[in-house]
Structure 1
Amino acid sequence: MSYTVPKPATYVQTATERVHMAKSAAEAIAGEAGLLDARRVFMLVSRSLNQEIDEIKKIIKALGPCFAGLYEGMPAHGPRSAVLDATATARAMGADLIVSVGGGGSVTDAAKVMTLCLKHNLKTHEDMEPFHMFVNEDGAVINPGFEGPDIRALCVPTTLSGGEFNTPSGATDERIKLKQGYEHRLMAPIAIILYPAITRHTPEWLWLSTVVRALDHALGGTFDAPHGYTSCVMAPFALAFNESVNGERQRRISAALGQLQEAARTNPRPIDKAEQVVDFFKTVL
């Protein structure tokens, strides 16, 4: 068996300090508020969770006098206007901790961007312009340097997007229909609460669609389409396009699915491999 020596690499740890499991969201959030000495906890929550079940009420009760306020109904892809509106509410409430309960592409990302807006007192679209990442004329991704947030976020995810574990956060400039990234090490949530019981209320289509993510943010922000849908449709074509530069890594995916020495797409129809992957997951789910 051949073995390829990995290239030297460095992993920079995020500023997330704790991941809670096997605790209710109410218990874990109240515990974090006490640990962080947070006296004004502001919540950003899914509208359906807030209006249809009692989980949010349990959290508010557990926080007691530390509960400062709540913003519900962040739209998909985190439009700038909604993020700024939520930030304005949190600012008026004197928030010292932002807690998100909801999906990654909207609620989680918005909470992380809110911490940036609070730190730098961002109130308008124009205020946000100097802070988002961009691609320069040479094709390099530029992340503007700025001071990180003082007020941190705490995230309770209800989907499988995984955005809570990353520092990059997105907000969509709805004026140009473009989702833009904002990144600072301290924008990662200080704590993450993995509470499986709350995910029972996530719609099945949303839960399953968040399993696959590739070109979701860019296409979803442009066409107002759910992330998972655009990912599933575009993934095989993206794999085919990138095979010349990452074919070896694609073969590792294929090996994991029982297709040794084969890239993760198949000539002449890359969609065939996507169909094989779907069939594979049907056998294990």
Structure 2
Amino acid sequence: MLAQDKQENAMIHGIHRYPPMERVIYGIPLAEALADEVNRLDARAVYVMASGTLDRETDVVESVRRVLGNRLAGVCARIGSHTPRTDVVAAANEARAAKADLLLTVGGGSVTDAAKMVGLCLGNDVTQAAQLDAFRAVITPDGKTERPPVKPPAVRSVDVPTTLSAGEFTAMAGCTDTTRHVKESFAHPLMMPQAVILDPAVTVHTPEWLFLSTGIRAVDHAVEDICSVNPTPFSDGMSLQALRLLAAGLPAVKADPADLEARLNCQLGAWMSIMGSQNGVAKGASHGIGHVLGGTAGVPHGYTSCIMLPHVLRFNESVNATRQAWVSEALGHANESAGDAVAALIASLNLPATLRDVGVKLEQLDAIATGSMHDRWVHTNPRKIDGPPAVRALLEVAW
């Protein structure tokens, strides 16, 4: 009997925690939903953080300006990929000067994380990038996460995501120290937005590669939660439904980018995929290695999941084959291995499958392997990863 099978024969027990998010609005046009939220929260000075591309090339940010009117406290459309510290602190200083009482994000994961970090900066008197050293998580050599005390954010957010990474549903943020080229983790329960607005019409402006690859990131959330060392009944159910929605929705969007119903199904799947993260379900090496590929090698997170998840599933199959079979079935490939089922979905979307495809050089693998051992989720991988050589072997297979 497999180790995880034995675990599942034990009495189920645990605690389900409801996150400090007030509501999720889905399928309602952005202008209507935003007006309702601003009135509900009685916001008087809304600081908008938007994707630069949305601001420059679409009318989405202008429509937000019209809805907010004299409640607009400022617009920041200068957040770089992987949420650089310097960009975060500059935005926080602007929001502080504007006396913002609500943050509004319109964009992808980097903008979402930036708003969380701005809230942290405002609540902890951070005015310079170096001050964030005092609030970052530290991963000890044995894989434990040590988080320093953090005061709650002074200002919270309403988020309008344009990608499927689902970071808007968590209380954690990744923020990159561009001096050391390391992406670090920050957290406080109230860094989670007060509300999320899911409007599929806003996502039509998102580049196809970004929408689809972040959809695979959501698949990664669901898969690694199902296969986790500490799954919960609630996250199991939500993750399986997430996979069904994403497995149907992503190819439908690929076939017809104007299919708003398929886009909304993808958004709902991404939302469901993150429920385990809200309750402490540990991820595995696909996420852990992916963090380092992002912060060290500049690989977009959606692409890290495309490349690493099939290989991590194959690596782990000897310890969680039963749960991997659930993944295959939810993806509509009950007679295939989970690794092959995920790889087939990725291939059908014409997304990259190797590290070479995304510009990672062979000489970078040692640094990535070493850095990965400082990520908490490498240490909670279902099959033990006992050092950089094991990560290096996975990277070589993926290269």
Query: Residues 221-247 of structure 1, C-alpha deviation per residue, up to 9 Å, x if partnerless?
Result: 111122222221111222233334444
Paired letter, 2:112: T
The reply on whether 1:50 has 2:55 as its aligned counterpart is yes
The reply on whether 1:101 has 2:106 as its aligned counterpart is yes
> Residue 135 of structure 1 aligns with which residue?
139
Offset at residue 26 of structure 1 (A): 2.4
Please give the alpha-carbon distance, in whole angstroms, between the structure 1 residues aligned to 2:111 and 2:347.
32
Query: Residues 41-66 of structure 1, C-alpha deviation per residue, up to 9 Å, x if partnerless?
Result: 00000111111121211111111111
Please give the alpha-carbon distance, in whole angstroms, between the structure 2 residues aligned to 1:86 and 1:241.
42
Q: 2:193 aligns to what SS in structure 1?
A: coil
Counting only pairs closer than 5 Å after superposition, residues 165-180 of structure 1 correspond to structure 2 as 165-180=169-184
The reply on whether 1:276 has 2:344 as its aligned counterpart is yes
Distance 1:8-1:96 versus aligned 2 partners, 3 A rule: same
Give the conservation status (yes or no) of the 8 Å contact 1:30–1:59: no
Distance 1:259-1:36 versus aligned 2 partners, 3 A rule: closer
Query: Residues 112-160 of structure 1, C-alpha deviation per residue, up to 9 Å, x if partnerless?
Result: 1111111111122331112122212332122333221231011000011
Give the conservation status (yes or no) of the 8 Å contact 2:328–2:341: no
Distance 1:10-1:101 versus aligned 2 partners, 3 A rule: same
Give the conservation status (yes or no) of the 8 Å contact 1:88–1:123: yes
Counting only pairs closer than 5 Å after superposition, residues 21-170 of structure 1 correspond to structure 2 as 21-104=26-109, 106-170=110-174
Give the conservation status (yes or no) of the 8 Å contact 2:310–2:343: no
The reply on whether 1:217 has 2:291 as its aligned counterpart is yes
Query: Residues 163-220 of structure 1, C-alpha deviation per residue, up to 9 Å, x if partnerless?
Result: 1111111111111211111111111000000111111111111111111224333211
Paired letter, 1:223: A
Please give the alpha-carbon distance, in whole angstroms, between the structure 2 residues aligned to 1:257 and 1:56.
36
Distance 1:240-1:143 versus aligned 2 partners, 3 A rule: farther
> Residue 311 of structure 2 aligns with which residue?
237
Q: 1:212 aligns to what SS in structure 2?
A: helix
Give the conservation status (yes or no) of the 8 Å contact 1:154–1:189: yes
Aligned-pair identity (%): 42
Distance 1:200-1:261 versus aligned 2 partners, 3 A rule: closer
Report how many residues are paired: 274
Query: Residues 5-62 of structure 1, C-alpha deviation per residue, up to 9 Å, x if partnerless?
Result: 7631222221110111232222222322222221110000011111112121111111
Please give the alpha-carbon distance, in whole angstroms, between the structure 1 residues aligned to 2:23 and 2:341.
38
Unaligned runs of at least 5 residues, structure 1 = 266-271
Please give the alpha-carbon distance, in whole angstroms, between the structure 2 residues aligned to 1:142 and 1:263.
36
Q: Which has the higher helix share?
A: 2
Give the structure-2-normalised TM-score.
0.64
Q: 2:32 aligns to what SS in structure 1?
A: helix
> Residue 384 of structure 2 aligns with which residue?
none
> Residue 12 of structure 2 aligns with which residue?
7
Please give the alpha-carbon distance, in whole angstroms, between the structure 1 residues aligned to 2:72 and 2:299.
34
Q: Which has the higher strand share?
A: 1
Q: 1:137 aligns to what SS in structure 2?
A: coil
The reply on whether 1:228 has 2:232 as its aligned counterpart is no
Q: 2:327 aligns to what SS in structure 1?
A: helix
Give the conservation status (yes or no) of the 8 Å contact 2:331–2:341: no
Unaligned runs of at least 5 residues, structure 2 = 218-285, 351-399
Q: 1:251 aligns to what SS in structure 2?
A: helix
Give the structure-1-normalised TM-score.
0.87
Aligned-pair Cα RMSD in Å = 2.4
